[in-house]
Amino acid sequence: MEQKLTIEEIQNFKGKYPKQLWYLFFSEMWERFSFYGMRGMLAFFMVSQLKLDEETTNLQYGATQAFVYAFPFIGGLFADKILGLRKSLFWGGLLMIVGSVILSLDPKNFFFLGISFTIVGTGFFKPNISSMVGQLYKENDVRQDAGFSLFYAGVNIGALIGGYICVAVAEGSLWSGFVPENLRWNFAFGFAAIVMVVSLLTFTQTQKSLGEIGLSPLQHIEKSKRRIREVVTYIGSLAIIPVIILMVANTVYTDYFMMVIGPASLLYLLNEMRSFSLAENKKLIAAFVLIIFSIVFWAFFEQSGGSLSLFAINNLHNSLLGFEVSPNGVNNAANSLFVIVFATVMGLFWIWMNARKIEPNTVVKFGLGFLFLAGGFWVFYYTQFFADASGKTSLNLFTFGWFIITFGELCLSPIGLSAMSRLSPQKTQAVMMGIWYLASAYGQYFAGILGANIASASENSTNLEKLIVYADGYKQLAIYALIAGVVLIVISPLVKNLMQEVK
Q: Is 461 helix (H, G, I), strand (E, B) or coil?
A: coil
Report the pLDDT value the prediction gives residue 1, as an integer from 0 to 100: 38
Q: Which residues face 393 on adjacent strands?
A: 316
**What b-and-e string marks burial along 13-29, b requiring 16 or more CB atoms within 10 Å of the CB?**
beeebbebbebbbbbbb
Residue-wise DSSP of 46-57: HHHTS---HHHH
Whether residue 161 contacts residue 362, with contact meaning beta carbons closer than 8 Å, is answered with no
User: Which runs of E-coded beta strand occur in 88-201?
Assistant: none
Q: Whole-prediction pTM value?
A: 0.82
Q: How far apart are CA 197 and CA 493, in angstroms?
A: 46
* Residues linked to residue 323 through DSSP beta bridges, in sequence order: 320
CA distance 303 to 445: 11
d(C-alpha 327, C-alpha 491), whole Å: 39
Rounded (5°) CA angle 36-37-42: 90
- 324 forms beta bridges with 319
Q: What is the pLDDT of residue 231?
A: 92
Residue 117 near residue 239, CB atoms below 8 Å: no
Q: What is the number of H-type helices and E-type strands within the chain?
A: 17, 2
Who contacts 385 (Cβ-Cβ below 8 Å, separation ≥6)? none
Measured CA to CA, the distance from residue 417 to residue 490 in angstroms comes to 22
Q: Could you give phi then psi for residue 320, rounded to 5 degrees?
A: -125, 115
Tally of CB atoms within 10 A around 97: 22
Burial class of residue 75 (count of CB atoms within 10 Å of its CB; 0-12, 13-18, 19+): buried
Q: Read off the amino acid at residue 51.
A: K
Q: Are 46 and 286 in contact (CB under 8 A)?
A: no
CA–CA dist 236, 252 (Å, integer):
24
Q: Which H/E stretch holds residue 324?
A: strand 323-324
CA–CA separation, 385 vs 375, rounded Å? 16
Coil, strand, or helix at residue 50? coil
- pLDDT tens, position by position, for the chain (503 residues)? 344 678 888 888 888 888 889 999 999 899 889 888 888 888 889 988 988 888 888 888 888 888 888 887 788 778 888 888 899 999 999 999 999 999 999 998 999 999 999 999 988 888 778 778 888 888 778 788 778 777 877 888 898 998 899 988 988 888 888 889 889 999 999 988 999 999 999 999 988 888 888 888 887 788 888 889 989 999 999 999 999 888 888 888 888 888 888 888 888 888 878 888 888 888 888 888 888 999 999 999 999 888 999 999 999 999 999 999 999 999 989 998 998 888 778 877 878 888 888 888 888 999 999 999 999 999 999 999 999 999 999 999 999 999 999 999 988 877 776 777 778 777 777 677 777 778 888 998 999 999 998 888 877 788 899 999 999 999 999 999 999 999 999 998 888 888 877 66
What's the confidence (pLDDT) of residue 2? 42
DSSP-assigned beta bridge partners for residue 319: 324
The whole-number pLDDT of residue 320 equals: 93
How far is the CA of 301 from the CAs of 48, 377, 405, in angstroms?
A: 24, 9, 8
